[in-house]
Structure formats: C-alpha cells, structure tokens
Structure 1
Amino acid sequence: MKKALIIIGSVMLVFVLAVGGYGFYLYKSVQSTIDSDMHSPIERDKSDKREVEVDVDEGQEPLSFLLMGVDAEESSKGRTDTMIVLTVNPNEDSMRMVSIPRDTRTEIIGRGVQDKINHAFAFGGEEMAINTVENYLDIPIDYFLTVNMTGFKDIVDSLGNVTVYNDSAFDQSGYTFEEGELYLNGDEALAFSRMRKQDTRGDLGRNDRQRQVIEGIIKEGASFSSVTKAESILNAIGTNMKTNLTFDEMVDIQSNYKDARHQSETLEISGTGETIDSIWYLMVPEEERQRISSELRAHLQLDESEVASN
C-alpha cells in the first residue's frame, strides 16, 4: 500500500494522506494541485541570511517558514492579519513558533520607511514581507505559505474540526466560547482566532489563539487516515494557499522533519503601544527583539554553523 505524504502548514504543516487503492491517482492529484495551483516561486534563490541553501532532501539542517494569513478573499492581496515564524530543528526533533504582532513598528525593507509590519505584504507581496521579517528577526526565511481567510475556514472544515483550550469565556461573531477544551468547526475557528478587543492581552491574546488553531490543524492533519477526506482537503488548499514549496520538497520535509511536531514551543513578543502621527503602533524594545532573535537563531543553529566555518 502506497502513501502520498504532504506537508502544508498553515498554517502549517503536516497532512498525511493515506490513499490505499487510490494510491497513484491521488498522489498525482496532490502533485498537480501543489505544483499547478499552489506553487508560487519568488525571485531570489535563497535567503541572504544563509551562505548555502538548505537541502531538505538530506533533512539534516534546521529550516524556517513564514506563515501569513491575508485579510482578503485572495491570498495574493491585502495585508497580513497573521504573521507566524516557525522554525524546525530535525536534530532536536523540535519546533519553535512565534507570532509577530501585526502592528509592530519596523522598517519595511524595499520602501525605506518605518511602518506596521503587516503592511509589507500589501506593499510588495511575499518577497517584501519575507525580507522585512528576515531583517527584523535576523534569521533566514526558507519557505513561505500564505492562506486567505476563506481558505483558513475551509481547511478546518475539511479536517472535521480542531481542538483548542480557551482560558477565558467570550462571545465573538455570534458564537459563545466557553472556558475549557473546545472542538471548533471552520467558522468557529475563524471567529475564535480573530477576537482581540475583549482580551486584556490584546494582540498577544489573539496571537495565542491563532497559534492554537494552527497547532490543531497540524495535529488533525497528521493523525487522520480516511481516504474520504483527501478530496476535500485538496479542494480547500488548492485555490486558497500559495507557497514557494514544490511538491517534491513537501514530500522530503514530511519524511525528514515530521517528528519535530511532537515537541513544540511558543515564543511571545511583548511591547507597548504608542501613537505616532495619529497611528497606533506596537513598539517592541530592542532587547526584546534581540531575545526572540537569539532564541530562533539558536534553534536554527546559525551561530554554531558560523563558528564551525571560521
């Protein structure tokens, strides 16, 4: 019995499609969906933050992803309502995940202005967003994945539901979310991840809920084995996601990096609000930015490789 293996993250990352007798047909369907509909290469061959491009076929080097949720019907337009950096270390079998608050004030690389980081995608698409995040965190971004809000909902529905833990009851978009463990469908997951105003933590609280939904997607996608879900998942991701990953790279990543999902750690960026020229920004202290950068660099083993090459 053959298996077609695919990592997608949203949102990220691991959809295991057990295809049984449909093996060859479904394998080709997945390949066609990714390479024809989802694949969106960017101009640069590799990050300027790396001397040598990561070889996912070998599966020995840590790598990084930028996951972006776009506040528009299409994943190629709009501002990024969500920006999550995810690093994967196959040597430690571990993942790190950090949400960058959308109002974070930083330099938009390619425009030479200080602005909210979520404006980078609106100004220059994936490439400007990647360059801006790389500059802000001082790490390479190897791969990106964008998903629009419709796609976010459809992906959850294609999986059945996601499990999250809510630490404080609230109402949002016509739904009531009680405290405790919740099982959410697509519409509920979208509402759960969007709430901000009722949370005393503001954007940080919303970022935490978004991470929970993404982790729930990863867990559900990695655990199911029903062939009947394969078609609906392909339909959900085909027109709602864009990535510079090819199908072959996804297969290599799933094969060589999949165990990292079992040990996941979430990092949080903290800052204070400040109004500049009548616009509200999140101002992150330099020492806080450096703290997050150092943790991610250590997880990517960047400083180790630099020492080894000197």
Structure 2
Amino acid sequence: MRKNKSKKKRNLWIVIPLTIFAVLVFSIGAYVLSFYVKVKNTVDKEMHEPVESIDISKAKKKLEDLEPLNILLLGVDARAGDKGRSDALMVLSLDPQNNRSQLISIPRDTRTTIVGKGKEDKINHAFAFGGADMSAATVKNLLDIDLDYYVQINMEGLKELVDELGNITVQNEVEWSDSKYNFTKGSLAMDGDMTMAYVRMRKQDPEGDFGRTKRQRKVIEAIIDRGASVGNVPKINSTMEILGKNMATNMEFGDMKQIFSDYSGTRKNMDSYMMQGTGTKIDGVYYLEIPDEEIEKTHKMITEIK
C-alpha cells in the first residue's frame, strides 16, 4: 500500500485540471473580477460538455447541500491523428464537513470491463472508445461508486500553458535521460516540451505510474507558482484560450465557483492512494490485474467519506 499525506497547502490541489483552473481563480486576486465575463464564457461555452453517465441534477443537489463529491479527473494524451487515451485517471473525493479530501489513482493498464463495449480491456482505452462518457461509466462500474463531475484536460495543453506562462522549475528526485533531455537530480528549469517529457516518462522510474503521478504533481505546483506571479496577470486571456481548447468538464462556471468557495477547506487534509495489482500478459499485451479485495477496499475508501 502506497499512501502519501501532504502537509503543504499548495501540494494539496494536485489535480491537473482543477489546479490549472485554480491558478486563474486564486492566483490573480482582485484582478479576477475584471476578467469575470471572459472566464465565465470560456467555461460555459467552450469547456462545458455534459455526459450521460453522470446525473448532473443529483450532483448539483449534493453541491447545494454541501455533501461529499466525487470528481473524475482525466489527463488525456491525445496526439496528432489519435483521439487519445486517459493516461492519468483519478477520483477526487471532497469532504467539506470534515475538511478533508482524497485522491485515488487508477493505473492506466488496469484490466476491467469497458462499459458500452462489453469486453475487458485496459481502462485507459475507454476514452479512446467513447470519450469521457465511457470513461466515467467504466470507472463507476469498476468501483461501484457515484460520480458527480468530471474534468478532462489534454496533456498537450500543459505544454502550451507552460510556454505561455514561462519556464517552470521543479525539484527532480529521479535521474534519467531520454533521446533529447538529461533530467538530473535537483532543480530543473523546463519549457513546455521538456515538461511533457518529464510527466510522460514511467519506464525508468522505479515507482512506475505512481512515480509519474508524483512528477505530475510537481509540475502542477510549479505551474501554480508561475501563474501566481503578478507579471502573468496580463496573460489571463491567452491562458483562458489555451484552457478553452484543451479542457472539458460537465461543471458550469457556477459549480466551479461554489466548489472553490464552499469546499476550499478540504485542502487542509488530503490522502493520496494508487490502486495496487499484479502485472500480467494476455496474448502478448500487458495488463494490471486488480484483485477483488483491492477493488472492494477502494470502494469503501470512496463511499465511506462522510
């Protein structure tokens, strides 16, 4: 079992899509009002994409009553000529009554039934088959849970965002090289292209997907640091254009505002967990088999948040 409790506030909003939006909402302070209409229009007209597998009316009622929420987070690696797969797939649970939150990562190679296809496959293939809707339905089926919202961002959007805001700096813990970059231990300054190489690597990481998830968190923290600088306030319009092209969610702007205001205390305590399984090959293809006991354990971790 790998569990990591973070005590640093900025490390707590580690979720790729929500954190990027948080840069826009929290980092610019008094300036945000002057950009209110721009932000609202981008969210409601460009990012807003409902899905049938999530009952939004039920979600809004829970939001109104300040009940715990489950948000599916999809980091999609879509490249030229490819619809993409959800290479980062997490369930974020927010508990406003006890000011805590929980982030559970589902390994992308998890073998499970793809809802709508009627066959077993890697869970990250659900997005390629049927987008966020099929991904949400498949996660709900795997863990036997309700989902209230989803947030999806194309990982290529991270590259554009970093280049727009300026180079970011992270503290790297694992040293490795690829065909283009040397990632030394210690402080690393990275542009958008190097950032993508940094978050995509997993085969040279001794922790595999878990290590890659931690590197994604470091990148998000660095983006927040960069986005929070006063010098980047004038870039709000171009930043919103990048998000409008690369982000999708069934949240409306009002939902986001309420989550950031009424659920902000959940940042005080966050637990992170990655589902565990055993690697296997079937017909030459690698899968991660998650035992029933692990699925039940994860189900309880999510449903017992009250």
Report the TM range for the smaller structure's normalisation.
0.7 to 0.9
CA distance 1:45–1:266, change in 2 (3 Å): closer
How many Å separate the matches in 1 of 2:267 and 2:163? 22
1:31 is aligned, of 36, 40, 53, to: 40
How many Å separate the matches in 2 of 1:95 and 1:191? 29
Q: Counterpart in 1 of 2:16?
A: 10
1:189 is aligned, of 172, 176, 195, to: 195
Kept after mapping to 2: 8 A contact 1:73/1:149: no
Q: Counterpart of 1:196 in 2: which secondary structure?
A: coil
Kept after mapping to 2: 8 A contact 1:64/1:142: yes
Deviation, 1:249, is 1.0
CA distance 1:165–1:61, change in 2 (3 Å): farther
Q: Counterpart in 2 of 1:130?
A: 136
How many Å separate the matches in 1 of 2:53 and 2:258? 21
CA distance 1:96–1:216, change in 2 (3 Å): farther
- Pairing 1:1-310 to 2, within 5 Å after superposition: 10-13=16-19, 14-15=22-23, 16=25, 18=28, 20=30, 23-24=33-34, 26-44=35-53, 46=55, 52-55=58-61, 58=64, 60-73=66-79, 77-160=83-166, 164-172=170-178, 174-214=180-220, 216-217=222-223, 223-224=228-229, 227-299=233-305, 301=306
- Comparing 172-181 with 239-248, greater Cα deviation is found at 172-181
How many Å separate the matches in 2 of 1:110 and 1:29? 37
TM-score, normalised with respect to structure 1? 0.81
Kept after mapping to 2: 8 A contact 1:172/1:192: no
How many Å separate the matches in 2 of 1:235 and 1:212? 24
CA distance 1:165–1:176, change in 2 (3 Å): same
CA distance 1:234–1:9, change in 2 (3 Å): farther
How many Å separate the matches in 1 of 2:78 and 2:247? 12
Kept after mapping to 2: 8 A contact 1:267/1:292: no
Deviation, 1:101, is 1.1
Q: Counterpart in 1 of 2:7?
A: none
Kept after mapping to 1: 8 A contact 2:59/2:149: no
Kept after mapping to 1: 8 A contact 2:151/2:248: yes
After superposition, give the CA deviation of every residue in 1:68-116 in whole Å (9 maximum; x if it has no partner).
1222148x93221221221111122222112211111011112221110
How many Å separate the matches in 2 of 1:230 and 1:297? 37
CA distance 1:8–1:95, change in 2 (3 Å): closer
* Larger fraction in helix: 2
How many Å separate the matches in 1 of 2:14 and 2:202? 27
TM-score, normalised with respect to structure 2? 0.82
How many Å separate the matches in 1 of 2:296 and 2:73? 21
Kept after mapping to 1: 8 A contact 2:176/2:183: yes
Letter in 1 for 2:28: A
Cα RMSD after superposing both structures: 3.0
Letter in 1 for 2:290: V
- Comparing 287-296 with 160-169, greater Cα deviation is found at 160-169
After superposition, give the CA deviation of every residue in 1:16-45 in whole Å (9 maximum; x if it has no partner).
263757834x11111111111111112356
Letter in 2 for 1:23: L
How many Å separate the matches in 1 of 2:250 and 2:39? 16
How many Å separate the matches in 2 of 1:276 and 1:35? 43
Deviation, 1:163, is 5.5
State percent identity of aligned pairs: 42
- Structure 2: 5+ residue stretches without partners: 1-12
